[in-house]
Amino acid sequence: MSVTEFIIIRHGETVWNREGRIQGHLDSPLNGIGLAQAAAIGSRLAGEAFDALYSSDLGRARQTAERIAQCTGHPIRSDARLRERHLGVLQSLTRPEAERLHPEAYSRYRHDGSDYALPGGESARQCFERNLACLEEIAARHPGARAVVVTHGGVLDGVYRRATGLPFEGPRMFSILNASLNVFRYRAGEWSLTLWGDISHLGATALDDA
């Protein structure tokens, strides 16, 4: 079976990223830094050959993908399965607000592992399963090709763990940066990591999905 290469990009910085708010399925637009980051990714990818451009349907990912499309000419294929984890009652809150308003839910979100579903939301495992199903469908659609996917920190977390063999339940000990470029290869159910956290196109630092 042919190898499919994925360039997976976290969206540019948003207003809520800068404020430290939990986004989940709610949305916050790219701020000025995020728009510049998206343009920088587009300029970089204009010099790369790839076959398809996919995006989460959430606005912050779409905004990033639109800047890429302006530079590369690829149509954007949106898919809701590439969304971030639905974080239920915690969405729109800062972490101090979440801890104060929903102490039990916030504590379980932080410490109860991949199978805890927040009230009104979903578990990390449920999120990863829909993300992975979508990515593997994209691989089947583009065997032996290269696809760019614009998505979210939680999606990258799951794919990184699958590719590196890290336990899905453990704490995250690696950075997931806004507007970072990450390269994976997929073949016959097996994932491998080629490049992680590349922000050389930005000429600056970026916020972590902490």
Report the mean per-residue pLDDT for the chain.
94
pLDDT score for 167: 85
- pLDDT band at 204; cut points 50, 70, 90: confident
Who wins on pLDDT, 207 or 119? 119
Write down the pLDDT at residue 48: 92
112-133 exposure pattern, b = at least 16 Cβ within 10 A, e = fewer:
eebebbbeebbbbbebbebbbe
User: What integer is the mean pLDDT of 121-132?
Assistant: 95
Cα 198 to Cα 176: distance, rounded to the nearest angstrom: 10
pLDDT exceeds 90 at position 205? no
Give the Cα separation of 110 and 144 in Å (integer): 39
Catalytic residue among 84, 86, 102, 122: 84
What's residue 76's pLDDT?
A: 98
| Confidence class for position 210, pLDDT limits 50, 70, 90 | low
pTM of structure: 0.94
Q: Supply the pLDDT for residue 198.
A: 93
Say how far apart CA 197 and CA 178 lie, in whole Å. Answer: 9
Helix (H) or strand (E) holding 184: strand 181-187
> Which of the listed CATH numbers 1.25.40.420, 2.30.40.10, 3.40.50.1240, 3.40.50.300 matches domain 4-87+123-198?
3.40.50.1240
pLDDT digits (tens, 9 = 90+) for 71-121: 999 999 999 999 999 999 999 999 999 999 999 999 999 888 889 999 999
Helix (H, G, I), strand (E, B) or coil at 6: strand
Give the mean model confidence (pLDDT) for residues 46-54.
96
- Residue 208 scores a pLDDT above 80: no
pLDDT at position 60, please? 98
Domain boundary assignment for the chain: 4-87+123-198
pLDDT at 43: 96
* Predicted pLDDT of residue 176: 93
84 as an active site residue: the answer is yes
Please report where in the chains the tokens 């239920």 appear, as a residue. Answer: 88
Strand partners, 53: 76, 148
Catalytic-role residue among 11, 86, 142, 152: 11
Take residue 160 and report the two structure tokens written for it.
Answer: 């990184």
pLDDT > 90 fraction of the chain, expressed in percent and rounded: 88
